[in-house]
Amino acid sequence: MKLLLDSTRCQGYGLCQEPAPELIDLDDWGYAQVLVGEVPADRADAAAAAVAACPNSALRLVK
């Protein structure tokens, strides 16, 4: 599964990084950057939590 970011929707709240810091980094202004191409199976729950945490729906999971 892939974690995709629509950077035009990201507003830099940083809420997505809290549940998945190994999958998402924040730049100097707080905007998200996805760190992995494929989400490891053992981190799928963290990726889903990151998607749910984003108030602007900037993240999504794709199989």
Dump pLDDT digits (tens) for 2-54. Answer: 999 999 999 999 999 999 999 999 999 999 999 999 999 999 999 999 999 99
pLDDT of residue 50: 98
pLDDT of residue 53: 98
pLDDT of residue 47: 98
Rounded Cα distance, 40 and 36, in Å:
9
pLDDT of residue 62: 97
pLDDT of residue 36: 96
Q: Domains of the chain (ranges plus CATH)?
A: 2-62 (3.30.70.20)
Give pTM, 2 decimals: 0.93
